[in-house]
Amino acid sequence: MNDENLKSLWQSQNTNNPSSSMQVFEQQVAQDVISFRHKIASRNRQESICALIVMLIFGYYCWTLPEFFMRVGSGLIVLGSAVILYQLQFRAALQELSAEQLGQPFLIYYRSELMRQRNMLRNIWFYQFGPVVPGISVFFWGMAQPNPADFPWQITSVVIIPFLVVLAMNLNTARKIQIEINKLDQEIE
Amino acid sequence: MKHSFLPQDLLYQQALAAHESELVRVAAGYERDPAKRPDLLQDIHLAIWRSMAVFKEQCSLRTWVYRVAHNVGATHVQRNMRPAERNHTDLDALALHIDESTDVACSDRQLDFARVMQFIHSLGPLDREVMLLYLEGIDAATSSDITGLSVRNIATKIHRIKHLLGTMFNSEGNHHE
């Protein structure tokens, strides 16, 4: 198969181009633009909902639980969730690629995208789990009162083990991304 | 009610009018599953619309649109692949295993197309972008603008890709004789 046959084969794909008339096309563009704006607004809303739910539940515990340490732990979890919420808003701006980035040549864009993902995976424990660790620790300590020998190891391990597994998986993926970055650097050289 | 367009919207409209079919093919080049292609295409459209807010004719509209579309496509592949799929086949190591149980009722052209598609989806992001630009008939200088690779590097990659494709079609042709 020669060059022209190959290109013609590729370009003859049925692309179902729906833009039969300019009027239809303009309507399609208008619908696209409206749906794009909705999509961005909805994504921003969704990111906050989980942290808000946690804040509401532990805010309620903070007032109602009988054990002092559990109330303090709940309060710290609420504060930790507020920090995560702030981080999500802040990081969301970073996760959403800037319009300038989108128009960069591929090599520059892809390298920075890989680095961003690698850094996010390396640091995720810090900004997504770290802020609630003090609150959860105090909360569990409160569950062990009045006798610290009753510390609920079974319950804490249910929280800690999955956390460690996720952490290990993230670090492993970050390592693989680093290999991709190294390969890309070889292409640039 | 008539929608009032902002300059960004008008540029998006202009880009779509000129390159809509190419964008559909870019989505096909980056997403193996036809059922998922419309979602990727929608993401590409969204990214092009967003990017038009900062498009100040730094390059031609076509170069810009291709850059955005390929950047989104590559990110889509990178984000959706399972860890085991992270090791892309590079051109040096490329060994094709065309499915031998291909439907005999398919025409030769459909078979050729399926082989090309399989070849594209086995490539890493950079080689894939070069291949897709080549298939669209984009010259080496423009491809260099889009990818950031040197013209010489593009030419080398295209030469190797063509060689591999030639080998693939020849070996498949012999296999079916």
Q: Which of B5, B6, B22, B68 is best to mutate for the A interface (most A CBs within 10 A)?
A: B68
Report CB contact under 8 Å: A17, B165: no
A 126-185 → B contacts, CB under 8 A: 172-173, 176-177, 179-180, 183-184
A 90-129 → B contacts, CB under 8 A: 97, 99-110, 113-114, 117
The pLDDT score that the predictor gives to residue A95 is: 56
Count of Cβ atoms closer than 10 Å to residue B67 Cβ: 26
Q: What is the pLDDT along chain B (177 residues), one digit of tens a residue?
A: 455 667 778 888 888 888 888 999 999 999 988 888 888 888 898 889 889 989 988 889 999 999 999 999 988 887 776 544 445 555 555 544 444 444 444 567 778 888 888 888 888 888 899 999 999 999 999 999 999 888 998 999 888 888 888 887 776 655 555
Q: Which of B92, B91, B113 is nearest to B102 (CA)?
A: B113
pLDDT tens digits, residue range A102-117? 889 988 888 888 888 7
The pLDDT score that the predictor gives to residue B134 is: 92
Distance CA A38, CA A32 (A): 10
In the block, residue with structure tokens 């961005």: A40
The pLDDT score that the predictor gives to residue B23 is: 92
Q: How far is B125 from chain A (nearest CA, A)?
A: 9
Beta pairing partners, A26: none
Distance CA A6, CA B116 (A): 9
Q: Which of B11, B20, B89 is best to mutate for the A interface (most A CBs within 10 A)?
A: B20
Q: How far is B153 from chain A (nearest CA, A)?
A: 9
The pLDDT score that the predictor gives to residue B143 is: 92
Residue in chain A lying closest to B59 (CA): A103
Residues of B in contact with A99 (CB under 8 A): 50-54
The pLDDT score that the predictor gives to residue B97 is: 42
B 56-75 → A contacts, CB under 8 A: 58, 64, 67-68, 70-72, 74-75
Residues of A in contact with B145 (CB under 8 A): 105
pTM above 0.95, yes or no: no
Residues 6+ apart with CB under 8 A from A89: A47, A48
CB-based contact A18:A26 (threshold 8 Å): no
Which of A7, A108, A177 is closest, CB to CB, to B148?
Answer: A108
Q: Which of A98, A100, A106, A111 is best to mutate for the B interface (most B CBs within 10 A)?
A: A106
Report CB contact under 8 Å: A106, B68: no
CB-based contact B43:A73 (threshold 8 Å): no
Distance CA A140, CA B123 (A): 50
CB-based contact B30:B123 (threshold 8 Å): no
Residues of A in contact with B86 (CB under 8 A): 176-177, 179-180
Distance CA B114, CA B118 (A): 6
A 36-95 → B contacts, CB under 8 A: 36, 39
Residue in chain A lying closest to B161 (CA): A3
Report CB contact under 8 Å: B67, A29: no
Which residues of chain A are under the pLDDT cut of 70?
1, 14-48, 88-97, 188-189
Q: How far is B146 from chain A (nearest CA, A)?
A: 5
Q: In chain B, what are the helix, strand and coil shares in percent, each to the nearest 5?
A: 70, 0, 30
Residue in chain A lying closest to B3 (CA): A30
ipTM at complex level: 0.75
